[in-house]
């Protein structure tokens, strides 16, 4: 966590709470797409809720590259995450219902993961354009979950 010195941090000491949704994943009460993304991308993204009808989505950080000094970072134990979107539970549930939507959402998450990994490997001259690509890929995720037409042609 020392790598994040200078960034705004929120230290989370309690466990992440996850509560019921109508479209269930294999692990019970969670929206199916949330479970699929977390498992399928090895915990690179996590979904949390306090039971208020919304899910917050976070991305695992491997370092501060690409983060601005005023970026929010949520740290739990030794891992830090960047908040990327808050989406309605109902939108997550609809992902499993609308034909092609689930794969489009998965692709949006994979694209963001790929862009972040490319940013982490980038040489100094490539950091700025790779940061823009990563942030652009992140911006698609919330919109894509809410509306399959906004998945950036990933359907």
Range from 23-32, 66-75, 129-138, 141-150 carrying the lowest mean pLDDT = 23-32
Encode pLDDT of 43-67 as tens digits: 999 999 988 999 999 999 987 777 7
Residue 142: inside a domain, yes or no? Answer: yes
Identify the domain containing residue 52 by its residue range: 2-150
Residue 95: inside a domain, yes or no? Answer: yes
pLDDT of residue 107: 96
Percent of the chain with pLDDT over 70: 80
**3-class DSSP string for 19-58:** CCCCCECCCCCCEHHHHHHHHHCCCCEEEECCCCCEEEEE
pTM check: above 0.75? yes
**Between residues 77 and 129, the one the model is more confident about:** 129
Residue 25: inside a domain, yes or no? Answer: yes
Residue 101: inside a domain, yes or no? Answer: yes
Give the whole-angstrom CA distance, residue 154 versus residue 68: 28
Number of domains forming the structure of the chain: 1
75 pLDDT tier (thresholds 50, 70, 90)? confident
Task: Summarize the confidence of residues 10-17 as an average pLDDT.
Answer: 43
Q: Is the pLDDT of residue 16 over 80?
A: no
Residue 155: inside a domain, yes or no? Answer: no
């Amino acid at each position: 966590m020392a790598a994040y010195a200078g960034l705004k941090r929120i230290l989370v000491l309690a466990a992440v709470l996850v509560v019921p949704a109508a479209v269930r994943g294999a692990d019970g009460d969670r929206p199916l797409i949330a479970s699929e993304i977390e498992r399928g991308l090895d915990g690179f993204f996590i979904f949390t809720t306090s039971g208020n009808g919304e899910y917050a989505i976070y991305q695992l950080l491997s370092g501060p590259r690409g983060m601005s000094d005023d970026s929010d970072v949520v740290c739990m134990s030794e891992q830090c995450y960047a908040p990327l979107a808050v989406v309605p539970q109902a939108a997550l549930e609809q992902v499993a219902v609308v034909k092609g939507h689930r794969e489009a959402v998965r692709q949006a998450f994979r694209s963001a993961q790929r862009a972040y990994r490319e940013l982490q490997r980038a040489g100094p001259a490539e950091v700025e354009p790779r940061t823009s690509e990563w942030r652009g890929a992140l911006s698609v995720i919330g919109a894509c979950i809410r509306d399959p037409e906004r998945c950036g042609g990933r359907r």
